[in-house]
Structure 1
Amino acid sequence: MPVTPPKGDYLHRMKTIDPTVICINEATKRAVRELHIGIINMMPDTALKKTETQFTMPLHYASGGLFIVPHFIALDGVDRNKKTQQYVDENYITFDQAKENGLDGLIITGANIADPDLRKATFYEPLSDVINWAESDLGPTSTLYSCLASHAYMLIKYGEERTPLQEKRWGVFEHKVRNETHPLTHGMDTVFDIPHSRWNEITEDQFTKYGMPILIASEEAGVHMATSPDGLRSVFWQGHPEYNTNTLLGEFQRDLGISAERRASAEQTPLAPLPKNYFHGKGLSLIEDFRNKVEAGLYHNTEHKGHLPPEIFADIIESTPNRWSSAKRALLSNWIAAIIDKTHEERGKPFMDGVDQDNVFNL
């Protein structure tokens, strides 16, 4: 059952997507134990609201009738423009408030940063505080670290530097489940696709040297999902199964515009490449034609600046298959089910009595 905080823009937007959404006040009246999931959204202003729904709507549908309440959490050090900061102030809670109230689960999104050195990120120290709290006796049952957040965890926890890639790992890649009996992968298709979009990675060896099992990986894209040695407390995603069908196209437009501007001042600057295995058929022909026109300078200093005309954007999306939605639903459903199975009935305590916190699933 979709549940939202009692007020704010998010409740209104969710009701336009799913009329069955109710607020937490109504859920409380129905006397059902709700599940409280925090979301620390570090994505840039233009992607903030999209990222909210990319995670929360699949969570709602994965709830199996349980009330799930998302709590959007503002992290100190994440730069926002004035308009977005006002939205965050009105709709997000502080990390201190989240700690005081307690959480059953926590999701930490990725972020776009200019410097590849994570230590130079303005939110590095606040994020370190979150990670340390998340693994304490007062933290959530499980924390899901997405993309850059996974890299930050490995640096903060183990001093492991992420490995720069020679080219952006960008596109949709085939993945295989390594352990079909683990509760986080149980019942999933054994082979499926997941989008990736990153310039760095944590390698399989970096994970396994600390006893962290690899649950899902790709020969071409590397590790997607791993967990902490206990199996649940920390879950790591390097891919983006939460992406909508049009997310990679939007990122391509952004990168194409940036590279086109750089190319105008430095002729040898290459244009952004196409995401691998993403465009197909008519959509592939349309996007290749558009990129060629940008490369020829036909769209430079025009209103487009690397952005597709709306009618072409729509045609491309119509012919672009989404081959990861089932994996997204399964991954989040299994994560929610594991939290429900292991969390304490009292909000603010991570595990029910009797759970071995060093081997949560007794594997």
Structure 2
Amino acid sequence: MPIKIPNNLPATNILESENIFVIHENRAYTQDIRPLRILILNLMPIKITTETQLLRLLGNSPLQVEVDFMYTATYSPTNTSQEHLIKFYETFDDVKDRNYDGMIITGAPVEQLPFEEVAYWDELCKIMEWSKTHVYSTLHICWASQAGLYYHYGIPKYDLAQKIFGVFPHQKSCTQPIKLFRGFDDIFHVPHSRHTEFKREDIEKIPELHILSESEVSGVYAAADLKGRQFFIAGHSEYDPLSLKAEYDRDLAQGLSVQIPQNYYPNDDPTQPPVVLWRSAANLLFSNWLNYYVYQETPFDLSLL
């Protein structure tokens, strides 16, 4: 949460130079407080797992958040019961007349398909277009980051020679302070599990985008538009400690040739419990997005988006 300080306090410039978020007295008095409305488009097959991961991070904040869940009407998931969907989820037709402070679009296990061959691609395009006028800030995760960059900016995805699988060190790319990464260490870790990527040189061709963070191993991790309305996050910061293990064990059980997740098991020994290196960075990522790009920027009256 921001520090509220008196107007013209001498310490203001020092605090701001140290990237400490302060709010002036006059602005604090004019703020109206209400719950943040967040929409989660859950494209993952095992929806309850993803719900838990995201809510864990969204809940680690003093801000009051109201969450709606949405799934695609053009593709009925087979790994989540209809009873669960009917009870807790809505379709785009149900929510299209609402406005939201923020939206999260999850990854999906369809990255090796061309975008246009994904069963719900047309519906997803409609949702992403709608988000530009009905959502203040949208967080695209993993495959959704590739889909969002392709839809909004025409940036392609590329097949990788080898799956990026493991937990990798990252650093901030911008010399200017970026609110999304306030409080981050110089090096922080993020899980990845993907067969495709987008490339730095393609993003650099788009003047409306800037690269926020990357890894020497896994490439660009985070990019955003200049207004903070669209974020594209290539990794899976939301993963819980055993997510990569579950994927590894699943692929082994199916007889697939799969490498051990890098930087995950002690001494690369799958019989040992994984080491979590990304939890603090994950919590910071989501709390910073909620605070600086949703709570601080969204108008009190969402109809004014």
Contact 1:252 1:275 in 2 (8 A): yes
* CA distance in structure 1 between the aligned counterparts of 2:167 and 2:112, rounded to whole angstroms: 25
| Total equivalences in the alignment | 271
1:145-160 aligned within 5 A = 145-160=140-155
* Residues 242, 82 of structure 1: alpha-carbon distance in 2 compared, 3 angstrom cutoff: closer
Aligned: 1:186 with 2:179? no
Aligned counterpart in structure 2 of residue 337 of structure 1, from 271, 288, 291? 291
* CA distance in structure 1 between the aligned counterparts of 2:101 and 2:111, rounded to whole angstroms: 32
Contact 1:193 1:324 in 2 (8 A): yes
* CA distance in structure 1 between the aligned counterparts of 2:43 and 2:34, rounded to whole angstroms: 29
1:34-45 aligned within 5 A = 34-44=35-45
* CA distance in structure 1 between the aligned counterparts of 2:289 and 2:165, rounded to whole angstroms: 25
Aligned: 1:214 with 2:208? no
Q: Which amino acid aligns with 1:52?
A: E
Structure 1 stretches (4+) deviating beyond 4 angstroms? Answer: none
* CA distance in structure 1 between the aligned counterparts of 2:241 and 2:79, rounded to whole angstroms: 29
Q: Which moved more, 1:98-107 or 1:190-199?
A: 98-107
1:178-327 aligned within 5 A = 178-179=173-174, 181-211=177-207, 212-230=209-227, 232-260=228-256, 271-281=257-267, 284-285=268-269, 287=270, 316-317=272-273, 320-327=274-281
Provide the residue aligned with 1:128 in structure 2.
Answer: 125
* CA distance in structure 2 between the aligned counterparts of 1:256 and 1:205, rounded to whole angstroms: 35
* CA distance in structure 2 between the aligned counterparts of 1:79 and 1:108, rounded to whole angstroms: 17
Contact 2:149 2:232 in 1 (8 A): no
Provide the residue aligned with 1:11 in structure 2.
Answer: none
Provide the residue aligned with 1:297 in structure 2.
Answer: none
**Identical columns (%):** 31
Q: Which amino acid aligns with 2:126?
A: D
Provide the residue aligned with 1:59 in structure 2.
Answer: 58
- Displacement of 1:83 in angstroms is 5.6
Contact 1:32 1:67 in 2 (8 A): no
Cα RMSD (Å): 1.8
Aligned: 1:48 with 2:3? no
Contact 2:47 2:80 in 1 (8 A): no
* Residues 73, 174 of structure 1: alpha-carbon distance in 2 compared, 3 angstrom cutoff: same
* CA distance in structure 1 between the aligned counterparts of 2:106 and 2:71, rounded to whole angstroms: 12
- Displacement of 1:221 in angstroms is 0.5
Provide the residue aligned with 1:33 in structure 2.
Answer: 34
* Secondary structure in 1 matching 2:259: coil
* Residues 159, 49 of structure 1: alpha-carbon distance in 2 compared, 3 angstrom cutoff: same
Aligned counterpart in structure 1 of residue 110 of structure 2, from 93, 110, 113? 113
> Structure 1: which 5+ residue stretches go unaligned?
1-30, 261-270, 288-311, 351-363
Aligned counterpart in structure 2 of residue 102 of structure 1, from 99, 103, 113? 99
- Displacement of 1:160 in angstroms is 2.5
> So what's the TM-score if we normalise by structure 2?
0.84
* CA distance in structure 2 between the aligned counterparts of 1:119 and 1:323, rounded to whole angstroms: 36
Contact 2:112 2:196 in 1 (8 A): no
**Higher alpha-carbon Rg:** 1
> So what's the TM-score if we normalise by structure 1?
0.71
- Displacement of 1:146 in angstroms is 0.5
Q: Which amino acid aligns with 1:345?
A: F
* CA distance in structure 1 between the aligned counterparts of 2:161 and 2:122, rounded to whole angstroms: 28
Contact 1:43 1:109 in 2 (8 A): yes
